[in-house]
Amino acid sequence: MPHAERQAIFIVTDYFPSTGGPSSSSRAIAQELILRGWTIRVGTRRLSRKWLRDELIDGVHVHRSGRPGYGKLSKLCDLVGTWWWLFRIGRNATVLQVFMDPDYALAGAAAGLGRRTVMKWATLGDPERYLGPQPVRYLKVRALRRSLNISLTQSMAQELKECGIKSDAIIPVSFDTLRFAPASVSERSEARTRLGITADVTIVFTGHLEPRKGIDLLLQAFGAIVAEGASAHLLVVGGNHGHAPDLGPALKSYVRSHGLDERVTFAGVVDDVVPYLRASDIFCLPSTREGMSNSMVEAMACGLACIAPASAGGDDLLSDGAGLIPASNSPAELARALTQLLGDSELRSRLGTRAAARVEAHRLPSVVDAFERMYATLPTRCGQRGVRRRTP
């Protein structure tokens, strides 16, 4: 395919300067594709009136539509604005890549891009969440069957199948090998010094402070191990994005009321999580629902010993000795896993080494190779067929 024709449109609910998995993942993939000669346009929500409607960010043409907010009216305005934008500029696109929210794949279908759409599902439970009740569900499933659908894990592929949608490929979350790697002794020491950490072991959580992430359960578990005399420090990295209730105030209140102020650091939303991962020994993700967590993949790439129950994707990423998988995300189970790692530096090292090896296949170039193979199967913009077509 000539480079002049290699034009991809990404639709993602949150894009830089927004934070979170979809934002960082889509941005990294866009940058890699640009290095390979693609032209990338990104359509996303305009969550702040201070953000420009159109701007160029690191070589990516970013268009923001809709109005600030996460309510139904804001979503409707965004969908209509996205449809109109795609209708105007989509004719020359090689592919429409939708991240996370299939409603935007429907906007693409309405703009005539249905058979050039690749839908990337992000979280377990999203098909039920987005498809909704009949008869709307039937129409959505029918439209999504015309596109290619990507799952992050086999569990997600099975979930899609049960909803009547075939998963055309399983492509995992990627990580940037230039940023995420095991820290040297000096890098770890420097990061801990900058953060003022003096405890023997540092535990880190990175993600949004919302109920689904279970950070309140981790705090309860952390309070329990501190009460038992553990020399540990907890780094809570992240904030609220507006999608769900903000647990931040309640979490800080819990820390104050339980005398954990000197043991817990709330870093807030940060531009770079790497220094916090370098300062840490253990990563814990107690989510009630995940697909494949960007945060955990990044922590594994940094060689941290990881703890995550099956509900947080632990069964997919941490099996066969790559981490600890508690029976649930209850405070008691989390505290038990933390205690096991706190007292065994050799186990932490062994799990961290296996974790880093496990995510070798998640390196950004390999993941983008898989995306390009998917793109090559799509009809071209002039109506011709790609290299191959899907089996009906």
**Do 119 and 237 have their domain in common?**
no
User: Does residue 144 belong to any structural domain of this protein?
Assistant: yes
User: Does residue 273 belong to any structural domain of this protein?
Assistant: yes
Give pLDDT, residue 241: 67
**Do 101 and 51 have their domain in common?**
yes
**Do 27 and 149 have their domain in common?**
yes
Q: How many domains does the chain have?
A: 2
User: DSSP letters of 255-293?
Assistant: HHHTT-TTTEEEEES-S--HHHHHT-SEEE---SS-BS-
Give me Rg for the CA atoms of the chain.
21
383: left (phi over 0), alpha (psi -120 to 50) or beta: left
Name the token pair of 55: 């701007």
Total Cβ atoms within 10 A of residue 216: 16
**Do 216 and 196 have their domain in common?**
yes
Bridge partner residues of 229 (DSSP): none
**Do 369 and 290 have their domain in common?**
no
User: What's this model's pTM, rounded to 2 decimal places?
Assistant: 0.88
**Do 105 and 163 have their domain in common?**
yes
Cβ neighbourhood burial of 323 (10 Å; 0-12, 13-18, 19+): buried
**Do 194 and 102 have their domain in common?**
no
Name the token pair of 318: 């941490």
Give pLDDT, residue 20: 80
Total Cβ atoms within 10 A of residue 5: 14
Using alpha carbons, list the distances in angstroms from residue 45 to 51, 86, 267.
10, 14, 26
**Do 242 and 270 have their domain in common?**
yes
Cβ neighbourhood burial of 363 (10 Å; 0-12, 13-18, 19+): middle
Q: How far apart are CA 119 and CA 139, in angstroms?
A: 16
**Do 113 and 53 have their domain in common?**
yes
Host domain of residue 283: 185-360
User: Does residue 180 belong to any structural domain of this protein?
Assistant: no
User: Does residue 391 belong to any structural domain of this protein?
Assistant: no
User: Does residue 299 belong to any structural domain of this protein?
Assistant: yes
Q: How far apart are CA 95 and CA 5, in angstroms?
A: 10
**Do 309 and 371 have their domain in common?**
no
User: Does residue 111 belong to any structural domain of this protein?
Assistant: yes
User: Does residue 94 belong to any structural domain of this protein?
Assistant: yes
CATH number at residue 44: 3.40.50.2000
List of the chain residues with pLDDT < 70: 1-5, 241-244, 381-392
**Do 133 and 218 have their domain in common?**
no
Q: What percent of the chain has pLDDT over 90?
A: 82
Q: How far apart are CA 365 and CA 373, in angstroms?
A: 12
Q: How far apart are CA 7 and CA 66, in angstroms?
A: 24
Amino acid identity, residue 172?
P
User: Does residue 127 belong to any structural domain of this protein?
Assistant: yes
Q: How far apart are CA 179 and CA 10, in angstroms?
A: 23
**Do 192 and 251 have their domain in common?**
yes
Q: Of 321, 376, 359, which is closest to residue 173 (Cα–Cα)?
A: 359
